[in-house]
């Protein structure tokens, strides 16, 4: 079945450091890919998405490119801020499997001043 695997956390960075959170997926069809973010004490909210191969999603300085050849959707940001401290979830939705969201386990990011 379909699945999503993320790098384990927690990830601790200093402010203005470069961020990469790895995400790889397994899918039988052609899924849409998402990054959701969960700030402390809140529900999840969509950060960015990509719906087909080679698409790049971007928002708030974060980027991720849909790489079909490596089945990856790594999240990057050039310069993180303390306010980026949160848990980040990679997810996929495959119309061939009913379109339901399947999440990775989440990666906690902590940014220190």
Partner 1 sequence: NAGVTQTPKFQVLKTGQSMTLQCAQDMNHEYMSWYRQDPGMGLRLIHYSVGAGITDQGEVPNGYNVSRSTTEDFPLRLLSAAPSQTSVYFCASSRGVGNYEQYFGPGTRLTVT
Residues making contact with partner 1 (CB under 8 A): 4, 32, 41-46, 49, 51, 89, 93, 95, 98-106
Q: How far apart are CA 92 and CA 79, in angstroms?
A: 26
Nearer to partner 1, 64 or 102 (CB): 102
Residues 6+ apart with CB under 8 A from 103: 4, 36, 89, 90, 91
What is the smallest separation between the CB atom of 108 and partner 1, expressed in angstroms?
10
**Count of alpha carbons within 13 Å of 6, Cβ hemisphere only?**
25
For partner 1, the closer CB: 73 or 89: 89
N- to C-terminal Cα distance for the chain? Answer: 41
**Residue 1 C-beta: closest distance to partner 1, Å:** 10
Which CB atom, from 98 or from 113, has the smaller least distance to partner 1? Answer: 98
Minimum separation from the CB atom of position 85 to partner 1 (A): 18
The minimum distance between CB 43 and partner 1, in angstroms, equals: 4
Helices (H), 30-97: none
CB 38 within 8 A of CB 86: yes
Looking at beta carbons only, is 60 or 79 nearer to partner 1? Answer: 60
């Amino acid at each position: 079945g379909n699945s999503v695997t993320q790098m384990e956390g927690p990830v601790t960075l200093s402010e203005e450091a470069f961020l990469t959170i790895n995400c790889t997926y397994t899918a039988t069809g052609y899924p849409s890919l998402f990054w959701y973010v969960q700030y402390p004490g809140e529900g999840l909210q969509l950060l960015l998405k990509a719906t087909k191969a080679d698409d790049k999603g971007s928002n708030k300085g974060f980027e991720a490119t849909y790489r079909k050849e490596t089945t990856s959707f790594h999240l990057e940001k050039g310069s993180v801020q303390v306010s980026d401290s949160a848990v980040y979830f990679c997810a996929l939705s495959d119309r061939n499997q009913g379109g339901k969201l399947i999440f990775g386990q989440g990666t906690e990011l902590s940014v220190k001043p």
